[in-house]
């Protein structure tokens, strides 16, 4: 099995072996180091791939560090590490207001458009 040095055990699956053109039927078991997949070849949910390290490295997968208020959830893009930001929020971890927005006290809308703030009320 090719488990990218993240698993000590694997099992053989005849169906996968046939589907692969009789190349590989190995399935890695209990992937470690926050990896997942048949060959422990991608990062598990909540982690993203560090592009500076090979997939065989123990620290190839880094934790998503999505801001608890600025991001929708704790899961980031597994390739880039970009967290899904709320409207008006920016940054890889969604930790700052985008240009044209300013911080509010709301957990639902942590950054609001300056147009709403600067617009004179009549």
Answer whether residue 77 is part of any domain.
no
pLDDT class for 111, splitting at 50, 70, 90? very high
Q: For residue 119, name the pLDDT band (cuts at 50, 70, 90).
A: low
Domain extent at residue 19:
9-63
Distance of CA 30 to the CA centre of its chain: 20
Task: Report the DSSP beta bridge partners of residue 82.
Answer: none
Whether 108 maps to a domain, the answer reads yes
> Contact at 8 Å (CB) between 53 and 60?
yes
pLDDT of res. 15: 86
* Counted domains in the chain: 2
Residue 4 lies in a domain: no
Asked if residue 78 is part of any domain, the answer here is no
C-beta neighbour count of 73 within 10 angstroms: 11
- Domain assignment present for residue 79? The answer is no
- The DSSP 8-state label assigned to residue 86 in this structure reads P
pTM of the entire predicted model = 0.78
- Rounded Cα–Cα distance for residues 66 and 76 (Å): 7
Is residue 83 a part of any domain in this protein? Answer: no
Residue 103 lies in a domain: yes
Report how far residue 33's alpha carbon sits from residue 35's, in angstroms, rounded to the nearest whole number: 6
């Amino acid at each position: 099995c090719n488990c990218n040095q993240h698993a000590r055990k694997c099992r053989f699956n005849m169906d996968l072996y046939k589907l692969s053109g009789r190349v590989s039927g190995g399935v890695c078991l209990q992937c470690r180091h926050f990896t997942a997949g048949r060959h422990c070849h991608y990062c598990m949910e909540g982690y993203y791939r560090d592009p500076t390290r090979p997939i065989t490295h123990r620290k190839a997968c880094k934790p998503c560090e999505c801001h608890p208020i600025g991001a929708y959830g704790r899961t980031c893009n597994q390739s880039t590490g970009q967290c899904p930001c709320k409207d008006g929020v920016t940054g890889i971890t969604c930790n700052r207001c985008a240009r044209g927005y300013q911080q509010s006290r709301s957990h639902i809308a942590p950054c609001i458009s300056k147009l709403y703030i600067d617009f004179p009320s009549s």
